[in-house]
Amino acid sequence: MLRDLFVDPPDTLVGHPAAGWAWTVCAAIATVVTLILMPIFARRERTWLWITLVPAGAICFFMESVGDWLGATWYPPNSPLVIGEVLGRPMPFYLVLTYAAYFPLGFWACYQVLKKGPSTARTVGLWIAGGLVNCAVEITFTQTGAHVYYGDNPVRIFGLPLYSIIQNGAFPIMGGAVLLYAKKYLRGRRQLWLLAIYPLGFVGFAVIATWPMYVALNAEPGPVWTWVAAIAAVTMNLVLAAGILFSPWLRNLQREAAQDDRARQGEPVGDPAVRRSPTTPVTAMEPTA
């Protein structure tokens, strides 16, 4: 039934075994590091937030096949350790490992930067860094056949769609922003909401920002409309991501997080321009409450 709605995947594509195994080994190492670090962070900061990131990432694995049909992505059947098919798509084990490590490590790193306070330069730097990391990983594997973006897609750069670079560079920052909110406002069992928030937000952003290209990839309307859809998808990803990353909501969260950190460290909190040391005497020119 799905083949009637979407463009046929390249069933005969054969991936390079060495590339698949390289991905598996790297993802396994990252997952082991994650499983060691997250409990340490959770114990040190007395919060379960870091623990919930691992299953939240793993849950996204089950949504991968939906995104693969929409975005015309294919993992070869000869990939190492294929654990089965989901909606007719071969699912290599390295996808589970990748999601289980990508969410905790990427979101934690961005959280550490975001909590220092609002900074356009830092946010842009994170976005660029995330996009470059995504390029380094995905272009390597698209060029070796570990996976492929197929169909008539005019905005691929060495096999990787431009809108994917924008998305995947912004996702960790958005995850860090959710952590800022969750750490301050979600307590106890409410933190379990992250198990739903992250997967739904992950898929929701991609669909909302990229739906014109998803439609064009599978409807094959011709080169002109495909280009229109591709430009629209790139623009929508840029605008939507920037709207979230530079929103007043996030900047306020960053200010609150920075103030909370200074308060915990015993540093003065508030605007330095109007803050007065408690030892400074009140003069006649300064009204008292």
Cβ neighbour number for residue 61 with a 10 Å cutoff: 19
Instruction: Mention every residue, 6+ apart, whose C-beta is less than 8 A from residue 186.
Output: 49, 193, 194
- Digit-coded pLDDT (tens) for 63-98: 888 888 888 888 888 888 888 888 778 889 988 898
- Digit-coded pLDDT (tens) for 132-157: 988 998 898 888 888 888 888 888 88
Q: What's the mean per-residue pLDDT of the chain?
A: 83
Phi, psi torsion values for 284, nearest 5 degrees: -65, -25
DSSP type of residue 77: T
As a whole number of angstroms, the distance between CA 231 and CA 236 comes to 9
Phi, psi torsion values for 65, nearest 5 degrees: -65, -35
278 falls in which pLDDT band (50, 70, 90)? very low
Domain ranges of the chain: 2-263
- Digit-coded pLDDT (tens) for 229-242: 999 999 999 999 99
- Digit-coded pLDDT (tens) for 205-224: 889 999 999 999 888 878 89
Angle at 197 between CA 52 and CA 207, to 5 degrees: 130
Q: What is the DSSP string of 27-72?
A: HHHHHHHHHHHHHHHHHHHT-SHHHHHHHHHHHHHTTHHHHHHHHT
What pLDDT does residue 276 have? Answer: 42
Q: Is residue 270 scored above 60 in pLDDT?
A: no
Task: Please say whether the beta carbons of 232 and 260 come within 8 A.
Answer: no
| Pairwise pLDDT comparison (272 vs 210), residue with the higher score | 210
Give this prediction's pTM: 0.81
